[in-house]
Amino acid sequence: MTAAEELSSYPPIDPVNFDLIIVGTGLSESIIAAAASAVGKTILHLDPNSFYGSHFASLSLEDFTSYLNSSPKSITAEKPSTTDSDYTFVNLIQKPLFSDAEFISCDSVEDSTFLRENSRKFNLDLGGPRALFSADKTIDLLLKSGAAQYLEFKGIDASFVYNANEGLMNVPDSRGAIFRDKNLSLKEKNQLMKFFKLVQQHLGGNEDEKISEEDLESSFVSFLEKIGLPPKIKSILLYAIAMGDFDQENGEVCKDLLKTKDGIDRLAQYSSSVGRFPNAPGALLYPIYGEGELPQAFCRRAAVKGCIYVLRMPVIFLLTDKVTGSYKGVRLASGQDLYSHQLILDPSFTIPSTPSSSPNDSSSESFQILSQRDIKGMVARGICITRNSIKPDVSNCSVVYSPRSLYPDQVTSVRALQIGANLAVCPVGTFVLYFSTLCNDADEGKKLLKASMNALLTLPGVQSDSEDKKPIVLWSAFYIQKLTMSKFEAISSTPTPDGNLNYNDLLDATEKLFGQMYPNEEFFPKTTSPEDTTDDDENGIIMENRS
Amino acid sequence: MHGRPRKPLKEEDESVLSAKAEKLRLLQSQFLANHQNRIYSKEALDLSAKLLENNPECYTAWNYRKLAVQHNLSQSDSDSVASLFDQELKLVENALRKNFKSYGAWHHRKWVLSKGHSSIDHEMRLLNGFQKADPRNFHAWNYRRFVTDLMKRSDEDELKYTEEVIGENFSNYSAWHNRSAILSNLLKRKAEGFSHKEKVLQEEYEHVRNAIFTDPDDQSGWFYHLWLIDQTVKNDAPLLVSSWPSRGSTITLNGHGNNRLHGLSLLNSTLSGTTTLPIILYFNQAVEGINSSTVAVKSEILKEDLVWKPLSVNNSSTAQVWVVYLKLGNMELQLSKTYSIEITIGYSAGIVSSNGYHYGYPSQIAFELCVQTAHTEPVEGQYPKLTSWKDSDFQKVDHFEESNFVASTDHHIPTTSNWCREAIDEEITNYQDLLSDCKIGKLTLARLLTALDLLSPEHDKRKKHTEEILKLYTELMKLDPTHSLYYKDEHSLVLLQQITSSEESLLPHCHYYKDATETNTSYVCLRLQNLLLSRMGSIKNLLWVQMLDLSHNELRSIEGLEAMQLLSCLNLSHNKLGSFTALGPLRSLKSLKVLNISHNELGSHSIDTRRYLCSSPLAHTEVFAWDRFEILCGSYSATKFWEAFLIFESLNLTDLNITGNAVADENFTSFIVKVLPTLKYLNDEEL
C-alpha cells in the first residue's frame, strides 16, 4: 500500500465542523490547543509528521538526520475542479525552517557503529539548546495548565561562562555561588554581591531604595558602568545572567540593547530560580527525555479536554469561500474536507502569493501576509555528541560565550547546553551538546559555532594539540533556522523557535495570539478542582531526585 | 525555620481551642497520676506518649519515660530490650516532628542512645533530614556532635561536612562554630595535615575572607574571623605573666606606717601595719592545679605548707589568679634582716588550662623580705584619720626609682613566631577596603590592631596603634549606640593597657596621698579618675597598688579587682555600679580598709541582671551565714539586704562612704554598722 493509498483509507474524521483547526504540534500550537480546549472550543489538531512537536521535537539520531536532510515536502495533488464545489482550493506549501544542514562524523568505524546501533537511544532537540528557569513563566504555565503532571524535570548542575584564559568559570549567580567562586577577586565578589543587594532592594518595594526611573530606562550596560562594576562582572551580568544576545557595548552591532529594567527583571528571574526546587542546584531545569516532551504534555492536556489528534495527516488545500474569499476549511491528504472558524498553521507553511489560475480570486489579498512574512533574522544551531563531559564531574551544564570572548569581531553571544545520559537523551557514557547563536548569514553563524565548539571540544578533522584533553566529538551537526514572528489573521501562524535559552518570549507571543483569537476568553482559567488546591506550587513540578 | 515567614495560625473556633486545652489537661492529670503511682503499664506509656506527641515540652513526661524504661528493662528479656528502646526513639522522632527545637526530646534521644542498644546509622540519616530542612538548627548540630562522637566518625569527615554546609549558605553560625570546634580538636592532637597551625589558620583566613567579602553585612563570618584572630594571638599553653612580689624585688615591712618620702619604686614595695603577706601569681588564662607540689616556695622563714587559693568570683577550682598568704605573725622575723624567698613554678606537671593544655614554661621568682620596724598592734583609740579623696591631699610623683619597670616585671613570654604578626598584618591589608565603611569592619580593624600590638615586642612602642584603636571605638559608640556599652568596655581595656604599659604613661597617674594633719603616713595612690572607664583591665600591671582612685568613671563592673590583694583604700565614687553583686570582687580583698562607693546606682535597679552571672546565696556556691544574717537583719526586709550582707560580711572596713545611692536610707546604714563592727567612719562621719 502506498502512502497515498494509506492516507485515503484513513477513516473519516467525525465531526467535520470545528471551532479551530491547528496544523503542526510545535510548542505554541500545542499550548493554544490546550488553552482553547480548556475554554470549551472544539479543536482538531493535525500534524503531517509521525511525531509530536514539529520544530520543538526531540528525535532519534537517525530521524534527526533525515529530518534535516529532507527536501521540501509538497504533496502534489491535482487541484480538484471547483465547478461543483462552493469553495476555492488554495495550495498550501511547506517550506522547511531549517537549511544549510551539515554533518560531520568521526572517521572511527567503531564510533559510527556505536552511533548507528544506539540511534534510538538519542532524543535530540531540534530547537536546542533549550532549558527552563525554575522561576520562569513556563513553569507557571505548566502548573496552571496542568501539563506539569505529564513531565519530569531535573536540575542543570552548573552554569558556566567561557573565558579564553581561564576556561569555564562558574556563573556566580547566588550568594553561595559568589562565596564558593574561585575566579573572582575578593573585591569583585564584594561588588557583585552589592549589586545583587541593590537589585533586591529595588524589587523589595521600599520607595527610597528604588533605582531611579531615569536609570531604569537607560541601557543596562551604561547603568552597570555608572555603578562602577569592573568588565568581568559586567560581562557576567550582561550575558550569563541577563542573557544578552548582542554585544551591549558596541552600539553598531547591537540589535537588541537591554534596558536596565529588563536586565533587572532577568536578573530577578535568575535569582529566584536558584534554589526554588530543592533538587535543582542551579537556576535551570531540563525535561527528562528532551524538549519534545513539552509540546506533548500540552497535547495530552488538550486531548483530556476533548481535542482530536491526527498525526501523519498533511493538509493539501485550504478551502475558501468562492464569493468572499474567506477561509472556510481544509482538505486533508485523506481527501476529507473539514471546516472550522479559525485555522492555525505552524511557521513552516506558506501560501503562494499569487494563487494560480483562479480567475476571480479575491482571496489572494487576505493571505498576502502569510506568504510574505518578514524574516526576523536567523539562528545557527549545532549539536555535538561526545563521550566525555566538558567539565569533569559535571554531567548537565550550560555555557555562555559572551561577545568577543572567542574572537574580536564576535558580535553575538553563543549559548551551549550539555546534557548527559541521566536525562535520558543519549546512551550511558555519552553527552549531547547543543549550541546556538543569532546570525545574519549561514557562514557567519557556522563559523561562530565552530569556534565555540573548538574552544571546548575536538572536532573531527581538526588537529588538536597533543596535550589537549578536550573531549572528542563523535558526531556533529550544524543548521540554520529562520526566525519569524507569529501572525494573527483568519489564518494565523505561530512563531518559530527563537534564539533564546528559555521559552518566555515564545510564551508571550503565544498568549498574545490566543488573546487575539479569543479576546473574551481567559488564557488557562484557574480551575478549582481539589487537586489544584495545594498551597505551595512547588509541589506541582515533578523533580527527579539527584542521582 | 530560618528565613521563612511564619504562617499565621489558622483561625480556630473558641470552642475547638478550649476543647483541645481540656483534652490536654485531662491527659496531663492522668499522666501525673500514673507518674505518682509508678504505673508503667502499656496503657500508661501510651498515655504519656500521646501527651508528649502533643506537647514535647513536658519535661516531666520525658523523665517518666526514662523511669519507665529502667523499670521495664529489669523485667524484660534481651530480645525485647531493643524494641523497648526503639519505641523511645520513635516517640522522640514524633515529638521532634511537632517541635524540633524541644530540648527535652533531643535530650531524651541522647539518653536512649547512650544506653547503647540502638543503631547509630539511623541517627545520621535522621540528622541529615533535619539538617537539610534547617541547616542552622543548633539542636541538630549539638546532637550531631554527640552522635559523631559516639560512632567515632573522623573529625576530618565532619570538617568536610561543615565546609559543604557553609558552601551552601555561609550565614550559618552553627556550622562555623562546629568548624571551629573540630579544628581546635584537630590542631590540639596535631592530626595528620593539621600539625602546622599556621598553615591551617592561613587557609581558614582565606576561607572566611570569601564569606566576609561576599557579604560584609553578614556577621557569622566575622564571628569566625574573631575566633581565628584569637587562635593566632593566644598561647595555647598557660604561662605566668605577672606576679607580686615581682622577680628581684625587695619588700619592706613597716610596723605602723612610716614611709620615706622620696622617689616611688614600682618594683620594691613597702607594706605598713600588715600581718599577712600575699603572694600573687597571675597567669595568661585560667588554670587549675596550683598547689605545693606544682609551685614550690623556698625560704628559711617558712614553717608550714602553703595553701594556694584561686581568686575567682564563682568559686571554681580554676582561676587566672592564684594567691597564698604568708602569716608574718608566726614567723618570728628579726628587725633589719633580709630574708630571701624563692618560688619555682611548673617544674613538675599538674598545672593545666581549662582546655587541657599543660603549663609550658617553667619559671622562677626570687624576692627579698626586709623588716624595717617591728609590728605593733594599734593602740586602742588611735585610729587612722578619715581618708579624704580631695585633690589637695595628693601630690604628684616626680620620678620612679628605677627606669626599667616594664622590663623588670616582664616574665618569660615565649617569642611569638613571625607568622602571627604577618598573618594579622595581612588581614589588615586585605580588609582595608571593607574596614572603613561598616561597623563590624571598624570593630574588626580595632581587634586586629589590638592583636598586632599584643604581638609586637614590648619595647617596640613606635608601632603601637593605641590612639587609632581608641578612635575606632569612640566612632563605634556613636555609630552603633545599641552596643555602646560593649565598645566602652573595649575602649576602657585599651586605655588601661596603654596607661599601664610603661612608666612614662603611668607616672602622671601616680600621686602621694598625704593628708594635711598627718606627717608620717604617705601612701602612693594610683589615680585613674575621669577616664570614662566602664570596666577594669590590665590588672596584671597593677598588683602593687595599695591605694586606688577610680572615681568619676562609668564603671558597671569591677571584675578583675579581686587580684589586687594589696589594696587597702579604694575610691569607686561617681560610677555606675548598679548592685551589690557587682561589688563581688571586693570580698577577696582582705586588706581593704577604706571604701568609697558613694554616688553610684546601688539599689536603683529593681532587677539585677548580673545576679545570674555572679555569686548569690541562691546559687549554692557560697557559704552564706544565714544565722548571723537573720540576727542582724532583725525586723528589716531580708530581701533588701542579703546582697549587701554577702559583700560586707567578709570585709574589715574602717571607713565606708555609701551616700548618694538609692539603697542608702536610715535602715540600711544602721544595718551596715551592725554588719561591719570594725567601722569607724561612715559617710565621712565618725561613728
Strand B269-272 with B338-345, pairing: unpaired
Tell me, yes or no, whether A462 lies in a domain: no
Q: Cα–chain-centroid distance for residue B668?
A: 31
A371 and A496 housed in the same domain:
yes
Tell me, yes or no, whether A104 lies in a domain: no
Mean pLDDT for all residues in chain A: 84
A175 and A278 housed in the same domain:
yes
Tell me, yes or no, whether A243 lies in a domain: yes
Which of residues A284, A308, A325 is at a domain's end?
A: A284
The partner residues of B344 in beta bridges, in order of sequence, read B296, B364
Please, how many CA atoms are within 13 Å of residue B529, restricted to the half-sphere of its CB?
16
Domain holding B297: CATH number? Answer: 2.60.40.1220
Answer whether residue A272 shows pLDDT above 80.
yes
B196 and B306 housed in the same domain:
no
Residue-level pLDDT at B407 = 41
- Alpha helices by DSSP H, listed for B280-354, are none
Q: Higher pLDDT residue, A540 or A234?
A: A234
B33/A182 Cα distance (integer angstroms) = 63
Nearest CA in chain A to B208: A179
B282 and B266 housed in the same domain:
yes
B544/B535 Cα distance (integer angstroms) = 19
Q: Higher pLDDT residue, A101 or A529?
A: A101
Indicate yes or no: CB of A187 within 8 angstroms of CB of B214: no
For the stretch B264-304, pLDDT in tens is 566 677 777 677 889 999 998 899 989 888 898 888 888 77
Tell me, yes or no, whether B384 lies in a domain: no
- Cβ contacts below 8 Å, chain A against chain B, sum to 34
B489 and B521 housed in the same domain:
no
Which of residues B176, B208, B233 is at a domain's end?
A: B233
B222 and B315 housed in the same domain:
no
Q: A437 vs chain B: nearest CA distance in angstroms? A: 33
Cis peptide before B245 (omega within 30 of 0): yes
Helix, strand or coil for residue B288? strand
Q: Which residue has the cell 618594683?
A: B267
User: Residues of B with CB below 8 A from A179's CB?
Assistant: 167, 170, 210-211, 214
Q: A186 vs chain B: nearest CA distance in angstroms? A: 6
B22/B54 Cα distance (integer angstroms) = 13
Nearest CA in chain B to A282: B168
Answer whether residue A354 shows pLDDT above 60.
no
Cβ(B61)–Cβ(B31) under 8 Å? Answer: yes
A176 and A252 housed in the same domain:
yes
Task: Indicate the residue type of B286.
Answer: A
Cβ(A493)–Cβ(A344) under 8 Å? Answer: yes
A71 and A189 housed in the same domain:
no
Least Cα distance to B649 among B562, B586, B599, B570 occurs for B586
Determine the residue among B213, B220, B430 to mutate to test chain A binding: the one whose Cβ has the most chain A Cβ atoms within 10 Å. Answer: B213
B145 and B200 housed in the same domain:
yes
User: Residues of B with CB below 8 A from A175's CB?
Assistant: 169-170, 214-215
Cβ(A285)–Cβ(A132) under 8 Å? Answer: yes
B477 and B519 housed in the same domain:
no
Answer whether residue A373 shows pLDDT above 60.
no
Residue A213: Cβ within 10 Å count:
9
B322/B283 Cα distance (integer angstroms) = 8
Indicate yes or no: CB of B430 within 8 angstroms of CB of A175: no
Number of structural domains chain A divides into: 2
| Residue B512 backbone dihedrals phi, psi, to 5 degrees | -85, 135
Nearest CA in chain A to B165: A176
User: Residues of B with CB below 8 A from A182's CB?
Assistant: none
Tell me, yes or no, whether B395 lies in a domain: no
A180 and A210 housed in the same domain:
yes
Tell me, yes or no, whether B405 lies in a domain: no
Domain holding A17: CATH number? Answer: 3.50.50.60
The cell for B19 is: 476543647
Tell me, yes or no, whether A58 lies in a domain: yes
Give the least confident one: A29-43, A68-82, B127-141: A68-82
B543/B545 Cα distance (integer angstroms) = 6
Number of structural domains chain B divides into: 4
B515 and B641 housed in the same domain:
yes
Nearest CA in chain B to A281: B168
User: Residues of A with CB below 8 A from B433's CB?
Assistant: 187, 190
Nearest CA in chain A to B430: A186
Answer whether residue A536 shows pLDDT above 50.
no
Indicate yes or no: CB of B167 within 8 angstroms of CB of A176: yes
Q: Name which of B170, B430, B434 is nearest A179 (Cβ-Cβ).
A: B170
Longest pairwise C-alpha distance within chain A: 81
Tell me, yes or no, whether B7 lies in a domain: no
A470/B452 Cα distance (integer angstroms) = 49
Q: A191 vs chain B: nearest CA distance in angstroms? A: 8
Domain holding B43: CATH number? Answer: 1.25.40.120
Domain ranges, residue A177: 171-284
Residue ranges of chain B with per-residue pLDDT less than 70: 1-12, 78, 255-267, 273, 313-315, 373-384, 399-417, 435-436, 457-463, 515-522, 606-624, 634-640
Tell me, yes or no, whether A399 lies in a domain: no
Residue-level pLDDT at A369 = 46
Q: Name which of B210, B216, B430 is nearest A179 (Cβ-Cβ).
A: B210
Domain holding A201: CATH number? Answer: 1.10.405.10
Residue-level pLDDT at B495 = 93
Q: Higher pLDDT residue, B224 or A6?
A: B224
Indicate yes or no: CB of A190 within 8 angstroms of CB of B170: no
Residues 6+ apart with CB under 8 A from B128: none
Residue-level pLDDT at A413 = 92
Determine the residue among A186, A277, A535, A538 to mutate to test chain B binding: the one whose Cβ has the most chain B Cβ atoms within 10 Å. Answer: A186
The cell for B187 is: 590542631
Partner B, chain A 155-174, Cβ-Cβ below 8 Å: none
**Residue range A512-539: mean pLDDT, rounded:** 70
Please, how many CA atoms are within 13 Å of residue A110, restricted to the half-sphere of its CB?
1
Indicate yes or no: CB of B214 within 8 angstroms of CB of A178: yes
A256 and A307 housed in the same domain:
no
For the stretch A233-271, pLDDT in tens is 888 998 999 888 888 887 777 778 888 888 888 998 888
B595 and B510 housed in the same domain:
yes
Got the DSSP string for B139-195? HHHHHHHHHHHHTT--HHHHHHHHHHHHHH-S--HHHHHHHHHHHHHHHHTT-TT-S
A266 and A352 housed in the same domain:
no
B178 and B278 housed in the same domain:
no
The partner residues of A22 in beta bridges, in order of sequence, read A45, A344
Rg (CA), chain B: 30
Q: Does A279 touch chain B (CB under 8 A)?
A: no
The cell for A265 is: 527583571
Tell me, yes or no, whether B320 lies in a domain: yes
Indicate yes or no: CB of B169 within 8 angstroms of CB of A190: no
The cell for B4 is: 521563612
A492/A543 Cα distance (integer angstroms) = 35
Nearest CA in chain B to A192: B214
A516 and A370 housed in the same domain:
yes
B608 and B676 housed in the same domain:
yes
B520 and B468 housed in the same domain:
no
Residue A97 per-residue DSSP state: S
A270 and A193 housed in the same domain:
yes
B111/B614 Cα distance (integer angstroms) = 31
Tell me, yes or no, whether B137 lies in a domain: yes
User: Residues of B with CB below 8 A from A180's CB?
Assistant: 167, 210
A298 and A264 housed in the same domain:
no
Indicate yes or no: CB of B210 within 8 angstroms of CB of A186: yes
Indicate yes or no: CB of A176 within 8 angstroms of CB of B168: yes
Which of residues B216, B233, B250 is at a domain's end?
A: B233
User: Residues of A with CB below 8 A from B129's CB?
Assistant: none
A272 and A295 housed in the same domain:
no
Tell me, yes or no, whether B4 lies in a domain: no
Residue-level pLDDT at A290 = 92
Q: Higher pLDDT residue, A442 or B414?
A: A442
A225/A239 Cα distance (integer angstroms) = 15
A176 and A296 housed in the same domain:
no
Which of residues A284, A308, A332 is at a domain's end?
A: A284
Tell me, yes or no, whether A119 lies in a domain: no
B158 and B47 housed in the same domain:
yes
Domain ranges, residue B310: 240-377
Answer whether residue A351 shows pLDDT above 80.
no
Which of residues B346, B362, B377 is at a domain's end?
A: B377
Longest pairwise C-alpha distance within chain B: 92
Tell me, yes or no, whether B397 lies in a domain: no
User: Residues of B with CB below 8 A from A189's CB?
Assistant: 210, 213-214
To the nearest 10°, report the CA torsion of B23, B29, B34, B37. -170
Answer whether residue A529 shows pLDDT above 60.
no
Q: Which residues of B touch A (CB under 8 A)?
A: 132, 167-170, 209-211, 213-216, 430, 433-434
Indicate yes or no: CB of A193 within 8 angstroms of CB of B214: yes
For the stretch A466-499, pLDDT in tens is 556 788 888 999 999 988 887 777 788 888 888 8
Nearest CA in chain A to B171: A176
Residue A156 exposed, middle or buried by CB count within 10 Å (0-12, 13-18, 19+): buried
Which of residues A284, A306, A335 is at a domain's end?
A: A284
b/e string for B97-133 if b means 16 or more Cβ within 10 A? eeebebebbbbbbebbbeeebbeeeebeebbeebbee
